[in-house]
Amino acid sequence: MGIRAVTFDFWDTVVRDGSDEPKRAVLGLRNKHAERRYQVWEALNAVEPIPRERVFLAYDTAEAGFHATWRENAVNWTVEQRLRIVVEGLGRKLPEEAFARLVERHARMEVEVPPDPVEGVAGALETLARRFPLAVVSDAIVTPGRAIRELLARYGLLKHFSAFAFSDEIGRSKPDSAMFDHVCRELGVAPSEIVHVGDREATDVRGVQVLGGRAVLFVGARKDDLENTRADAVCHRMADLPGIIEELAARAA
């Protein structure tokens, strides 16, 4: 079948994941790994003193559970769910206002110190949007979908997308079909009529191919899967993506 829509992963496809860390360092801020744990300790300690090490261990334990569930079952616990596990696992409670503030601080960390867009992504999206409806299909590990939309708006890219599937909103994560099915319903296309662009073989490439769609592995920000990909095409520079999509569309016509 022909290609009628193009979908995009967000992290290491539209933005460079981790490119905010040097900015945090310049500002004298903790790295995100440390800051998230510190925020939980700070909130709990303000209510009743508690050793930092105990809180950090509880956070690490909850994160291990999240990652196992995410990778093995394609289920996405929200930040709120994960933080409740930490707090309740410590046998503590936070006032609802304090807990909501903690969740929001986690959610906005990458909005307040944002990562950098991938070079050439603005031009590629503008070109592709003239011919195809575009969508974002992305896991939202800490930064929720609402904050990712805010980042896209800041970069001037939100206007190019007609549909969104974020794992914290869908309840499932890639490669689960629910993610792709959601945007396909929004766009009025079949999964076999989309090309998905992403940086991960297991979730982006195989996730869409098993549904009959096509995949472009983007390696301009992350090259880990380059040597072992079954993608329909590989993109090294975002500026080349419109031409790659056109070639795939011509083959599918």
- Cis omega (within 30 of 0) on the bond before 115? no
**Which residue among 73, 88, 112 closes a domain?**
112
pLDDT value at residue 1: 65
Of residues 28, 58, 31, the one with CA closest to residue 43: 58
Coil vs helix vs strand at 42:
helix
Q: Is the dihedral of CA 172, 176, 177, 180 positive or negative?
A: positive
CATH code for the domain of 210? 3.40.50.1000
Of residues 51, 84, 85, the one with CA closest to residue 65: 85
CA distance 220 to 223: 7
Domain that holds residue 26: 21-112
**Which residue among 94, 112, 130 closes a domain?**
112
59 and 90 fall within a common domain: yes
147 and 239 fall within a common domain: yes
**Which residue among 112, 129, 157 closes a domain?**
112
Q: Is the dihedral of CA 243, 247, 248, 250 positive or negative?
A: positive
148 and 203 fall within a common domain: yes
Residues contacting residue 234 through CB under 8 Å, at least 6 positions apart: 216, 217, 219, 226
Contact in structure between 248 and 228 (CB atoms under 8 Å): no
245 and 120 fall within a common domain: yes
Looking at the 3D structure of the chain, how many domains does it have?
2
244 and 153 fall within a common domain: yes
Q: Where are the beta strands (DSSP E) in the chain?
A: 5-8, 134-138, 161-166, 194-198, 214-218, 233-235
Contact in structure between 43 and 54 (CB atoms under 8 Å): no
100 and 225 fall within a common domain: no
Per-10-residue mean pLDDT, the chain, length 253? 94 98 98 98 98 97 94 93 96 97 97 98 98 97 96 98 97 96 97 97 97 97 96 98 97 85
Query: How big, in percent rounded to 5, are the helix, strand and coil portions of the chain?
Result: 55, 15, 30
Contact in structure between 142 and 15 (CB atoms under 8 Å): no
For residue 220, the 8-state DSSP code is S
Q: Is the dihedral of CA 125, 126, 130, 135 positive or negative?
A: positive
202 and 244 fall within a common domain: yes
Q: Which tokens sit at 55?
A: 């809180």
81 and 182 fall within a common domain: no
142 and 241 fall within a common domain: yes
Q: Which tokens sit at 59?
A: 């956070």
140 and 224 fall within a common domain: yes
136 and 58 fall within a common domain: no
229 and 127 fall within a common domain: yes
Amino acid at 176: D
CA distance 27 to 100: 25
pLDDT value at residue 252: 86
